[in-house]
Amino acid sequence: MSLLLGDTAPDFDAETTEGNISFHDWIGDDWVVFFSHPADFTPVCTTEIGYTAKLKDKLAARGAKAIVISADSLEDHKEWIKDVEETQGAKVEFPLIADPDRKIATLYNMIHPNADAKVTVRAVYVIDPKKKIRASIIYPPSAGRNFDEILRLIDSLQLTDGYKVATPVNWQDGEDVIIVPSVSNEDADKMFPKGYKTIKPYLRTTAQPNK
């Protein structure tokens, strides 16, 4: 199954370390970072789980939360969490989905046989409160992810949902943004009272409007 941006994230029922869930009900009104791990008790995954645990407050400030899937058993997940908390110095307070038959991993296109038929890739899905897939990133099993970039991505998505702007290369929260080309100069004058700079007719920058 190929999932595209704007698609509704497939719903599923699953066993997790925080009890049984129905995914759409669990999402509720939050943004979600849903990401996969090739296996439990693996070194890169352990660092990723630990770092995400440390981001709990930063995610919450964005109305977001994390959920993890790995194609191992619930019992393995619970033992692995102990290792994560011991080695990474952070309490894991988000659910890990047990997916030993890889049904959910297959549903979310996390199995890439030409990369490695035996394990899932490091997939990340950002899902909004309407249950729509807003972003996806696929890493090979060997490369750890940059979760600070995922926070930046959520900031951009939430900002651009509310204003007719786009975020430029390497943008960080609080920096200038780009007015989308579909906005006329006349409308831009009304929409961006702080003013804007015209670099080219199609490239106009303005202060971040929600700051």
The dihedral over CA atoms of 164, 169, 175, 177, expressed in degrees to the nearest 10, equals -20
Residue 152 in contact with residue 36, Cβ under 8 Å? no
Catalytic annotation on 22? no
Q: Could you count the other beta carbons within 10 Å of the beta carbon of residue 113?
A: 7
CA end-to-end distance (rounded Å), the chain: 40
The Cβ of residue 142 has, within 10 Å, a number of other Cβ atoms equal to 10
9, 32, 45, 110: the active-site residue: 45
Sheet with 64-70, edge to edge strand ranges: 19-22, 13-16, 96-98, 64-70, 31-37, 122-127, 133-139
Residues known to be catalytic: 45
